[in-house]
Amino acid sequence: MAVTRTDLPELAELQQLHDIGAPQLERRLLCEVTAGAQRWPVHAYLLGHPGPDVPAVGFFGGVHGLERIGAEVVIAYLRSLVMRLRWDETLHQLLERIRLVFMPLVNPVACSAAHAPIRTAWT
């Protein structure tokens, strides 16, 4: 039986952002990926108009896991928008006309491996 992992710092930060941004920030569990006895969630975070007839923009990170900056940039942009939800009327007006989709951790297994200590012949 696989155990769901939540020890990635990115997952903890995304949970915190969802807690702050709800209900405007919607979170969808797209799937769970398994590696050995471990399982990680793959979420999409959505802001804006839910209709199928509005323009949408997607932001994706954490694809390869080796370059952590991609996930960090997507999370930072999502964080900036979530923090503006409280006070920015212009942002609210924009979100009435568009849909923003965020997938900061497309490949959490690879990102988790990137957090593991690097083993060399000398360690």
The whole-model pTM stands at 0.85
- Other Cβ atoms less than 10 A from the Cβ of 38: the count is 15
β-strands 3-4, 38-48 pairing: parallel
Distance CA 44, CA 31 (A): 10
pLDDT at 120: 42
Which residue in the block uniquely carries the two structure tokens 């960090």?
72
- Below-50 pLDDT ranges, the chain: 116-123
pLDDT at 121: 46
Q: How far is CA 24 from the centre of its chain?
A: 15
pLDDT at 1: 53
Angle CA 85–91–93, to nearest 5? 120
> Helix 69-84 to helix 9-21 angle, to the nearest 10 degrees?
20
pLDDT at 36: 84
